[in-house]
Amino acid sequence: MPTILVIDDEPDIREVMRFALESAEFRVLEAGHADEARKLLASDQPDLILLDWMLPGRSGLELAQQLKQNPKTRGLPIIMISARGEEEDRVKGLDTGADDYIAKPFSPREMIARTKAVLRRAKPSEPADEIEIGGLRIDNIGHRVSANGRPVEVAPTEYRLLHFFMTHADRAFSRSQLLDQVWGDQVYVEERTVDVHVRRLRKALEPTRHDGLLQTVRGVGYRFSDKT
């Protein structure tokens, strides 16, 4: 049952939204302002946020910007809701990183349809069973790595690191992003730990000359690519 966080300062509107969402078999959390929402997010992770633009104190627009800047909530889908229905306002809302925009007044059916559509888009695709880049192959079913047909021995952490890189090839990642994605938010380790495991992974790939696929991006972190 997907969880939806409704952030709106009007209790009557929240009640209508809650009824419609629960009727569509969603679990609903509610917050009346930005600070209350942040407290909820510290203890519960919803699948999507329905966020009113005009909140008391910190606006919904400001809250959306902060959530999109935080690595832990950056990927959380947001639908902005506002009585400001002009094109300029819709563009401004979407530019903050919101995934959709609903202008008030809206029907509960429209809200449910848009919520389901955004959740479908946000659902991660199934990882490929096998990926090959530059002659380096990772078999996610057999949990094996090979280079030009030769087996490569890698430790479990290096395997997870390599799998993440190969499923996100040609993109640069900072050390903190790699910690979040490979080690997880609940593991408290230093960013330099990433460097240690990158060195170990490169050493494992060195005999087959695939260590060059793991590139250092100056001032950013690391990238996995067969392009120079």
* Domain range annotation of the chain: 3-122, 130-224
Predicted confidence band at 79 (pLDDT cuts at 50, 70, 90)?
very high
Distances (CA, A) of 57 to 52, 60, 118: 13, 9, 27
pLDDT tens digits along 111-135: 999 899 888 877 655 556 789 999 9
Which range (72-76, 185-189, 193-197) has the least confidence? 185-189
Q: Is the pTM of this model over 0.85?
A: no
Per-residue three-class SS string for 94-124: HHCCCCEEEECCCCHHHHHHHHHHHHHHHCC
Q: Is 55 exposed, middle or buried (0-12, 13-18, 19+ CB in 10 A)?
A: buried
Which range (8-12, 75-79, 197-201) has the least confidence? 75-79
pLDDT tens digits along 38-59: 999 988 889 999 999 888 888 8
Query: How far is residue 130's CA from residue 145's CA, in Å, rounded to a whole number?
Result: 10
Query: How far is residue 46's CA from residue 108's CA, in Å, rounded to a whole number?
Result: 20
Query: How far is residue 135's CA from residue 106's CA, in Å, rounded to a whole number?
Result: 53
Q: Is the pLDDT of residue 86 over 50?
A: yes
Which residue type is seen at 20? A
Q: In the prediction, which pLDDT does 124 show?
A: 59
Q: Does domain 3-122 have CATH number 3.40.50.2300?
A: yes
Residue position matching structure tokens 């627009």: 61
Please report how many Cα atoms fall inside a 13 Å half-sphere around the Cα of residue 28, on the Cβ side.
20
* CATH placement of domain 130-224: 1.10.10.10
